[in-house]
Amino acid sequence: MVKNSLYLLSSEALARILSIGVTAILARRLGVTDFGVFSLALAVAMLAGIAMDFGLHFHGVREIAKAPNRAPMLIGTTLLIKFFLTAVLTLAVVLALRWSRADTSLESAIRNLCLWIGILTLGHSFRMLFRGLERMDLEAGVILADAFFKSGLVLAAALFADLETVTLAFALSAGFTYLLSAGLAHRRFLRQPVAASIPELLPILRASSPMLASLLLLSAFYSTTFFLVALWLAGYQTGLYAAADKVYKLMYLPALVLCQAAYPRLAALPEGPELDNLVRRLYTLTFAAMVPISTGLILFAPEILGLLFGPDYLPAVTALRLLAAAGLGIPAMYAGLHLQNARHGAGRASLAMAGATLLLLFLNWIFTQNLFIRGAALAELSAMSLLALTFLHFARRYFTSPAAFDRLVTRLLILGLPIPLAGLGYSFGAWRPVLWLAGLAWNFFALSRFEQGLFDSLFARARRLFSPAFESDKKDVAVH
């Protein structure tokens, strides 16, 4: 799990760095208002992409992890279902936009980005093979290739400062990624052509539909606040919130990568001490990774917004700090969601997501229209906190004893001690780097005590990796 996590984390981190760089350039080239339009179109496309996937990616990874010999049938059937869903949903979105008489620039941006997400979703049918077989090195290669394809094409399109050209570049990059994923899967693993199985259509749809519900609700929760900001506030306010929201969404990366790496084992392990240890470690590592990111965003919010998007976006500083605090709930949410989907508890996850989304709608109705983007961020913080606590409670049933769960909660509280320090110290000027480094040191010390076995294993691997060099140095010294 550690090796696969490192592959995914390094590739996703580089991909996100490229993505935020491209996004920053787009924000400056398009201006605050058009950047808000682009962000709204992207949010609509991402929501449509969940429906196009239909939960089939999670289902495919789980089934391939259990029975790799079924991969050709699963991939072929998944491609057939996704192609039909992509065509129907893209047509439905286009007709809905025509009926609503949306702005022309918004309509073209949504159409192009729906095409982009549809092609990417089809490519994921092959990428689920890499995840199911735990070949995250190949998955990492595809992630990096996609990031470079997309960044290069979008940067070239950004020279024209035209929203339609930029979104068309997204769609073109997805085509390259699809061809790469399919070619790699066939070359390395598939000894026979993929083929759809008509008798398996209904069983696969029935098995994946609970996961679809939880993923749709996750996407709704993920996008609700931004949609309401775009609906209720002016275009300038939408652009400001979009900048803070882009940084906030980057916080999803560490937890998402660790959970994706652990998902095949969460699905395959029987209930018992081994699953207990995996769940405990997953919650601990994801939260430990989030704490320094959250404290950094709280302490350095003005510098981050100014550096990435320019001084025009500095009014979003308070919103970014509130969203950074909300990010502390992301590890429990993602770990809980992956755990429930892997252990056939998607219905429970769906209920939790539905309740949190309804709460988010209500809180936005109270706060956003009165406090504007700060109110929207406050609503996000409140709903995310409740959702994280709910998923943490759901995880209790997978522990071998109540005491083991209580120890996990104690760990999380100790690891989170730097957060109140950051909340109190963001106005301390030159002392802010000292506060962040102190929090990082505390985080590392606490994690090394809680996961001593993991740290010992990593140090042993590093020692074995570098021991030939050390032995060579000793021989050189002896000779001379």
Q: Where are the domains of the chain?
A: 1-196, 209-464
> Helices 56-66 and 330-342 meet at what angle, rounded to 10?
60
Give the integer Cα–Cα distance in Å for 165 and 109.
9
pTM above 0.85, yes or no: no
Could you tell me which of 282, 253, 286 has the C-alpha nearest to residue 266? 282
User: pLDDT at position 1, please?
Assistant: 59
What is the structure's pLDDT at 41?
A: 86
Predicted pLDDT of residue 49: 83
* Residue 478, pLDDT score: 43
| Angle (nearest 5°) at CA 201 between 198 and 205 | 175
Q: What is the pLDDT of residue 473?
A: 47
Task: Measure the CA angle with vertex 284, ends 281 and 285; round to 5°.
Answer: 85
- Note the pLDDT of residue 361: 92
Asked if 182 and 67 touch (Cβ cutoff 8 Å), the reply is: no
pLDDT at 480: 38
Give the HSE-up count for residue 258: Cα atoms under 13 Å, Cβ half-sphere: 25
> Which residue, chain included where needed, has tokens 């398996």?
200
Which burial class, exposed, middle or buried, applies to 241 when counting CB atoms under 10 A from its CB (0-12, 13-18, 19+)?
Answer: buried
Q: What pLDDT, on a 0 to 100 scale, did the predictor assign at position 46?
A: 84
Counting as low any pLDDT under 50, the low residues of the chain are: 470, 472-480
* Distance from the first to the final alpha carbon of the chain: 43
